[in-house]
Amino acid sequence: MVEFDRSAFIKKFQEEATEYLQRLNEGVITLEAEPENRELIDQMLRDAHTLKGSSRMVGLIEISDVAHRLEDIMVKVRDGDMRYAPEMSDVFFEALDTIVFLSESAGADVSGEADIPALLERLAVVAGNGALDEAAEDAPAGPMPEAPPAPAAQSPAKEQKSASKGVKKPSPKKAVHDEETLQTRVQHTVRVRTEQVDRLLNLVSEVVIAQIKDEQRSRDLRSLQALMNETNQLWSRVRTTAMNMAANDSGGFSEELEMLDELLADQRKRLGSIVKVDAEDASRASTVVSDLQEQSMALRMLPVSTVFNTFPRSVRDLAHQFNKDVELEIEGGDTELDKKVLEEINDPLIHIMRNAVDHGIESPAERVAAGKPAKGTIRLAAKQEGDHIIIEIADDGAGIDPEKVRAAAVRKGYVSQTEAKSMSDREASYLIFEAGFSTSAIITEISGRGVGMDVVREFIVEKLKGSLDVTSVLGQGTTFRLTIPLTLAIIRALLVSTGGRTYAIPTASIEETLRIDPAEVIKVEGREVIRRQRRTIPIVHLRDVLGLEAGEVSGRKLPVVTVGFSGHRIGFLVDSFVGEQQIVIKTLGTHLVRVDNVAGVTILGAGEVVPILNVPDLMHHARQLAGMRTRQAAAAKKAESGPKRILICEDSFTTRELERSIFEAAGYDVETAIDGALGLAKLREGLRVHAVVTDVQMPNMTGFELTRAIKSDSRLKAIPVIIVTSLEREEEKAEGIEAGADAYITKSVFNQDTLIDTVERLIR
């Protein structure tokens, strides 16, 4: 008899049980749809049986009992004594959950927390045989019922059959034997602890760093060669003269010059061959290193199905809980992803999934009323695109109402009224990712999206350095699109210098890098912005966000990095661009667990440590900073003179509202009139405005007539008049100026900046 310490194997059992439980959970779902699936029934029977055996082996008798009952049911189903009915699923799941719980408790007394006898009773009822109760009751004290199956066997199903007939053999020796067969099963694969793989990967990243250093050195060598060539050219130009001079001179250096010439030629030759060999070596090494990197990364790659496969079960439970009818479709489960990334995407996926079931999918009645099938569909799909994985979660539910999000965001004070108005629907949808947005009671009005969505953002963007996208069509559904790097270890990054230090910004977050003329920086609402492709981008100094001193700025043009995150764009002014390269991500060490703005560090070729910036943090702080300035500027403006008021005379509704929103966004009070006559009437009634913006072609009174009227009225003529029109012939311009207009803007060059600029110039 061999004595063995059972507790030492509990961990092993837990590991193994996770796999079986996973498969059983999946099996129950599938079996609901295909109760006749013979292969599946056999599989589940084997899994239940194995669980029973191995739990008993490690002394977790209660698990064994539960598994035993599951096995009983499966035997009956297999032998055709009963048919698997969907009603059985609930008690099956209960049993599986209980096993999970018991496995976690690892043999601790849980009689207070879980009612095992009651569960066994229910299982026995399902099995349709109360008499089995007895057998189970004496099982804990009694002998081992049967050994776990020998999974190494070529035909486990056959083995299974004889085993499940109940060969009872009280033999701990048998258990030891099974431990051996468990090991022989592993032939083509090696089970390696994740830490070991991680250590290996750490070493590989060190190699990668060394490789990057090598490449730097090769470049240094080549520039040395270039220097050498220059020296040689210079020398060949002066050589003849020097030789002649030396030959004529009695105490000459002709011999030394001869030698110098030879030495230089020799040096050049040798350096040339070193550079050549080095280049060859470097390119060979770089191939090997990148292969090594790729292969070692592959060690940690697992199919996304390891995470996805838990969802059919949880979606089923959720649907049950919220009284929804939902079908989950899974695609691309075999797409592979770094294990670390997989662990991190589980939580965000659960959040999105829960939201989709709870708030996305409508109740069956609502769906039918809306002309949709009663059963909602959630599609979970993964695919690889380049060095990224795209995961999409699409539901065909109610969708996000951008108007409600806007309203809620304004009420909660996330954005101002004007900001909300100027946001596109798409930008508005992103508001659901704001931290804390979710906890607000208002969220229920905006169909609840946002519950925990900031968590999603945190995981995907901050931890995984991925990106997040949401598109929604009201009434038709919502699609979340997560873009996640394949690996967490190596990324491309732009190195920038600010405040005299170098920082890395992940390239994935960068939209573009620009060099702008200082004159392109416009002040709006106390914020500094630039115009890019018809969009206004706020800009801030990166050093202000990071709290650094001003550094050296070279050149007249300002380097700007624009980054985009969840629909917002911000330009960060830096001192200079250093370059773009692959970097190996390292954490800040064990002491600094989480630091604002800094996601980690990387070590450059020269051993220099460079912080990697955390883009969401930067955006957040940049917006806070800009917000502070806006409030200060707004307060200053108000203290000065109160808001400026503009009268807009325009017959076209669209143009009128467009102009109104532009001025309101810039902090103006806006009055409108639908034609010149009404506008003039308002002014004559005593409406005090700082400027009049008018169209030309309007009913009743044209813009020119209005201008003339204003300019000929002694009380009104001081008011600047800006004519905005589609007429752009010179004669018309002349007519406008002749009428006394202060500015004339044609609609073809019309944009919000020229309009605001013009008005601001005129009223100051």
Q: Which residues bind other proteins (CB under 8 A)?
A: 11, 14-15, 18, 21-22, 25, 93, 96-97, 100, 103-104, 106, 206, 209, 310, 313-314, 317-318, 321, 346, 350, 354, 501, 546-548, 586-598, 601, 603, 607-611
Q: How far apart are CA 544 and CA 552, in angstroms?
A: 14
- Closest distance of CB 353 from other proteins, Å: 9
Nearer to other proteins, 365 or 595 (CB): 595
Tokens of 610: 């460079």
Which residue from 19, 18, 16, 24 is spatially nearest to 312, judged by alpha carbons? 24
Burial class (CB in 10 A: 0-12, 13-18, 19+), 64: buried
Nearer to other proteins, 193 or 534 (CB): 193
- Closest distance of CB 103 from other proteins, Å: 7
Nearer to other proteins, 1 or 118 (CB): 118
- Closest distance of CB 430 from other proteins, Å: 23
Nearer to other proteins, 88 or 144 (CB): 88
Q: How far apart are CA 468 and CA 616, in angstroms?
A: 12
Strand partners, 493: 506, 581
Nearer to other proteins, 546 or 626 (CB): 546
- Closest distance of CB 503 from other proteins, Å: 9
591: which DSSP letter?
T
- Closest distance of CB 498 from other proteins, Å: 10
Q: How far apart are CA 161 and CA 167, in angstroms?
A: 11
Nearer to other proteins, 94 or 366 (CB): 94
Tokens of 630: 């806006």
Strand-by-strand arrangement of the 691-694 sheet: 669-673, 645-649, 691-694, 721-725, 743-746
Measured between alpha carbons, how far is residue 694 from residues 662, 757, 762 in Å?
15, 16, 15
Q: Identify the three-state secondary structure at position 506.
A: strand
- Closest distance of CB 364 from other proteins, Å: 21
- Closest distance of CB 647 from other proteins, Å: 47
Nearer to other proteins, 125 or 203 (CB): 203
- Closest distance of CB 612 from other proteins, Å: 11
- Closest distance of CB 21 from other proteins, Å: 6
Q: How far apart are CA 336 and CA 319, in angstroms?
A: 28
Q: How far apart are CA 570 and CA 662, in angstroms?
A: 20
Nearer to other proteins, 190 or 593 (CB): 593
Q: What are phi and psi of 337, to 5 degrees?
A: -150, 150
For residue 14, give every residue at least 6 positions away whose Cβ sits within 8 Å of its Cβ, in sequence order, or none. 103, 104, 106
Nearer to other proteins, 31 or 353 (CB): 353
Length of the chain (residues): 764
Measured between alpha carbons, how far is residue 489 from residues 114, 323, 348, 584, 673 in Å?
43, 42, 20, 6, 61
Tokens of 235: 């020398």
Nearer to other proteins, 546 or 619 (CB): 546
Q: How far apart are CA 123 and CA 129, in angstroms?
A: 9
Strand partners, 338: 301
Nearer to other proteins, 454 or 695 (CB): 454
Q: How far apart are CA 567 and CA 419, in angstroms?
A: 13
Nearer to other proteins, 267 or 587 (CB): 587
Tokens of 353: 């999934």
Q: How far apart are CA 600 and CA 580, in angstroms?
A: 17
Nearer to other proteins, 182 or 350 (CB): 350
Nearer to other proteins, 428 or 456 (CB): 456
Strand partners, 326: 376
- The H-or-E segment that residue 615 falls in is helix 615-641
Half-sphere exposure of 390 (CA within 13 A, CB side): 11
- Closest distance of CB 191 from other proteins, Å: 15
- Closest distance of CB 206 from other proteins, Å: 5
Q: How far apart are CA 318 and CA 326, in angstroms?
A: 9
CB neighbours of residue 578 within 10 Å: 16
What single string gives the DSSP state of each residue in 92-136?
A: HHHHHHHHHHHHHHTT---TTT--HHHHHHHHHHHHT-TTHHHHH
**Is there a contact between 558 and 518 (Cβ–Cβ < 8 Å)?**
yes
- Closest distance of CB 501 from other proteins, Å: 7
- Closest distance of CB 140 from other proteins, Å: 23
Tokens of 382: 């993964």
CB neighbours of residue 28 within 10 Å: 24
- Closest distance of CB 212 from other proteins, Å: 13
Nearer to other proteins, 553 or 603 (CB): 603
- Closest distance of CB 702 from other proteins, Å: 58
- Closest distance of CB 597 from other proteins, Å: 6
Q: How far apart are CA 514 and CA 56, in angstroms?
A: 67
Which residue from 167, 189, 177, 151 is spatially nearest to 23, judged by alpha carbons? 151
Nearer to other proteins, 18 or 287 (CB): 18
Burial class (CB in 10 A: 0-12, 13-18, 19+), 193: exposed
- Closest distance of CB 717 from other proteins, Å: 55
> Residue written as tokens 């801030």?
540
Q: What are phi and psi of 249, to 5 degrees?
A: -80, 130
Nearer to other proteins, 398 or 598 (CB): 598
